[in-house]
Amino acid sequence: MTRQCVYIKTADPERDDMNILMIEDDKDLCETVSFSLRQEGFSVDVCHDGEEGLYYMEDGIHDLVILDRMLPHMDGITLLKEARKRGIRTPVIFLTALGELNDKLTGLNCGADDYMVKPFAFEELLARIHCLLRRPGTYDSSPVLKLEDITYDPATRRLSGNGTECTLSNREGNLLEIFLRNPGQTLPRTLLLNRVWGPDSDVEEGNLDNYIHFLRRRLKTVKSGLSVRTVRGVGYQIG
């Protein structure tokens, strides 16, 4: 029988550890904006390719997406249309050089929540981010996850099961969330490294092994019957 991971919608507008995904092929702009957002207390992931951006959006771990229109492999309009068609409701701000009225209407009509034109003031972008994150229902993209005898809430990073609970670190939580969204599947090491540390990170592979060890200890803490198994030469799976 295939295991099913249950998603329970939640909302917590007072969270201050919001996750933002920036999909933009201008690496210098990504670096500048992501640095400024981190200074404001946000967690930021970046990618520079449309197809990869859609892949990240499907994870459902981000509270808001900043999206360029002109991207390699898949343009921003196509990406957003596909995301909405797949039921991804994460709020999206277009941040693009295309600023004609028809450009703005096209972006908003295909599912964007806001539209900003380059060049821009960071203070205005920040204000629009806060405005979107205050909207009711914005946090539906961060569900509580349940698999067998455990429940994990990404909003609070609380793992509970069998009458016990504990709090996970950011990376432990992100790693567990990926496993819970893909129960029974073997997840390659490169995939886990890219999703947890980011595609541009130079993190050593040994760090992944360390966090797998930490995650196994967390599952033991809540007395779960689940385990993270090593698939030799490939990666890991939960089951």
pLDDT in tens, 210-223: 999 999 999 999 99
Does pTM surpass 0.95? no
CA distances from residue 10 to 137, 139, 144 in whole angstroms, order as listed: 9, 7, 7
Q: Work out the mean pLDDT of the chain and round it to a whole number.
A: 85
pLDDT value of position 115: 94
Q: How many residues does the chain have?
A: 239
Instruction: Residue 150: name the closest of 208, 230, 220 by CA.
Output: 220
pLDDT in tens, 140-172: 445 788 899 999 988 788 999 999 999 988 888
- Between 186 and 15, the more confident residue is 186
Cβ-proximal residues to 4 (8 Å cutoff; 6+ apart), any chain: 183
pLDDT in tens, 74-124: 999 999 999 888 888 889 999 999 999 999 999 998 889 999 999 999 999
Q: What percent of the chain has pLDDT over 90?
A: 53
- Confidence band for 136, pLDDT divided at 50, 70 and 90: low
Residue 16 pLDDT greater than 80, yes or no: no
pLDDT value of position 27: 93
Pairing relationship of beta strands 228-231 and 235-238 according to DSSP bridges: antiparallel
Pairing relationship of beta strands 164-167 and 158-161 according to DSSP bridges: antiparallel
- Confidence band for 20, pLDDT divided at 50, 70 and 90: very high
